Amino acid sequence: ADAEGGDEMETVGAASSDYKNLIVTKQNNFTKIVLNRPTKKNALTREMYEEIIVALTEAGKDETAVTVITGAGDYYCSGNDLGNFMTIKPDEMHQVAKESGDLLRRYVNAYIDFPKPLIAAVNGPAIGVSVTVLGMFDLVLASESATFSTPFSRLGQSPEGCSSYTFPKIMGYAKACDMMLFNSKLNATEAKDCGLVTKILPKANFEADAMAAVEEIAKLPVKSLVYSKELMRNHEIDILHKTNEAECDRLVERWPSEDCINAVMKFFQEKNK
């Protein structure tokens, strides 16, 4: 990185060379982003949100045709690290909520605006925001061991990742509400049946099989992929941005609320029993 600064990458808090929580590699015409915090089930810290924004922004501009995101270890991603909540002093609550809302908005925008095919290789359980953004991926490969849950209302929260728009479109209201209002957890087969997952691969050889599939895709004519994605997504870029705004605004209001604080505290108490 240029010591004189001024390059846009640096302003978002991480440089491609020194990811702390990701492993980003480029090979065979695709970019691979590995969430690499396996001891914490790849829970997303604020730093990790920033790093993913950088990694996606760079992959969107580089010479690779396709980007795949996967997780290290048994989990794909356990969602927002709730430890993010626990270190906040009461009088900083609203300020932190505002900043977290800004971060989430930028994070989700990185998916909305990603110009190339984006593939998820869901190697295990996926929770919260790692599930909700799946509606903006172009291919979702899942291990047999993958599960999908978005326990918003149990935690006093509300949907993000544009899922309040994409999930009803993908699976209908009855199933979307079951996940998003009523905390229902889907296994890989259920997720495939409702259209969230494209293909299920055996657990034993998941990593290799998924990467082989990505490699095949990366051989296709790049411009066709980019323009096809553009045609499919362009008529809803505006509604995705509006949805992201509305979802983040609501969460900024929710996070410091008594409802949410009580629900998160209850969650930790039950976890520590």
Which parts of this chain interact with a second copy (CB under 8 A)?
A: 117, 134-140, 152-159, 164-178, 180-183, 193-199, 217, 220-221, 223-225, 227-232, 234-235, 239, 242-243, 246-247, 250, 254, 257, 259-260, 263
249-265 exposure pattern, b = at least 16 Cβ within 10 A, e = fewer? ebbbebbbeeebbebbe
Is the distance from CB of 103 to CB of 266 less than 8 angstroms?
A: no
For the CB of residue 121, give the shortest distance to a second copy in the complex, in Å: 13
Of 88 and 170, CB closest to a second copy: 170
- The DSSP secondary-structure symbol of 153 reads G
Of 88 and 226, CB closest to a second copy: 226
For the CB of residue 216, give the shortest distance to a second copy in the complex, in Å: 8
Nearest alpha-carbon partner for 135 in 245, 252, 244: 244
Of 41 and 254, CB closest to a second copy: 254
Of 19 and 76, CB closest to a second copy: 76
Helix (H, G, I), strand (E, B) or coil at 180: helix
Is the distance from CB of 211 to CB of 68 less than 8 angstroms?
A: yes
Of 40 and 250, CB closest to a second copy: 250
For the CB of residue 177, give the shortest distance to a second copy in the complex, in Å: 4
Residues 108 and 175: their CA atoms lie apart, in Å, by: 23
For the CB of residue 215, give the shortest distance to a second copy in the complex, in Å: 12
Nearest alpha-carbon partner for 50 in 104, 80, 12: 12
Is the distance from CB of 52 to CB of 88 less than 8 angstroms?
A: no
CA 187-247-140 angle, to 5 degrees, is 30
For the CB of residue 106, give the shortest distance to a second copy in the complex, in Å: 19
Of 19 and 30, CB closest to a second copy: 30
For the CB of residue 88, give the shortest distance to a second copy in the complex, in Å: 19
- Name every residue whose Cβ is closer than 8 Å to that of residue 36 and which is 6 or more positions away in sequence: 21, 22, 23, 42, 72
CA 219-137-58 angle, to 5 degrees, is 70
Instruction: Compute CA 78 distance to the chain's CA centroid, rounded to the nearest angstrom.
Output: 10
Of 208 and 232, CB closest to a second copy: 232
Is the distance from CB of 66 to CB of 29 less than 8 angstroms?
A: yes
For the CB of residue 234, give the shortest distance to a second copy in the complex, in Å: 7
